[in-house]
A and B are shown apart, each in its own frame.
Chain A
Amino acid sequence: AQKITQTQPGMFVQEKEAVTLDCTYDTSDQSYGLFWYKQPSSGEMIFLIYQGSYDEQNATEGRYSLNFQKARKSANLVISASQLGDSAMYFCAMRAPFSGGYNKLIFGAGTRLAVHP
Chain B
Amino acid sequence: EAGVAQSPRYKIIEKRQSVAFWCNPISGHATLYWYQQILGQGPKLLIQFQNNGVVDDSQLPKDRFSAERLKGVDSTLKIQPAKLEDSAVYLCAGPHCGSGYNEQFFGPGTRLTVL
Q: Which residues of A contact B104 (CB under 8 A)?
A: 47, 105
The answer to whether residues A45 and B101 also contact, given A98-B56, A108-B42, A109-B42 and a CB cut-off of 8 A, is no
Q: Which of B3-43 contact A (CB under 8 A)?
A: 33, 40-43
Is A72 at the interface (CB under 8 A from chain B)? no
Binding site for A on B (CB under 8 A): 33, 40-45, 48, 50, 55-56, 89, 91, 93, 96, 101-106, 108-109, 111
Is A117 at the interface (CB under 8 A from chain B)? no
Give bound CA distance, A79 to B100, whole Å: 22
Contact of A107 among B40, B44, B55, B96 (CB under 8 A): B44
Is A62 at the interface (CB under 8 A from chain B)? no
* Smallest CB-CB A-B distances: 4 pairs: A107-B42, A45-B106, A50-B101, A47-B103
Q: Which residues of A contact B105 (CB under 8 A)?
A: 47
The answer to whether residues A102 and B50 also contact, given A44-B106, A47-B103, A50-B103 and a CB cut-off of 8 A, is yes
Contact of A102 among B41, B55, B106 (CB under 8 A): B55
Q: Which residues of A contact B41 (CB under 8 A)?
A: 109-110
Contact of B96 among A4, A47, A104 (CB under 8 A): A47
Question: Can you list 21 contacts pairing A with B, beta carbon distance less than 8 Å?
Answer: A4-B42, A33-B101, A43-B89, A43-B108, A44-B108, A45-B93, A45-B106, A47-B101, A98-B56, A100-B55, A102-B50, A102-B55, A102-B56, A104-B45, A104-B48, A105-B45, A107-B44, A108-B42, A110-B40, A110-B41, A110-B42
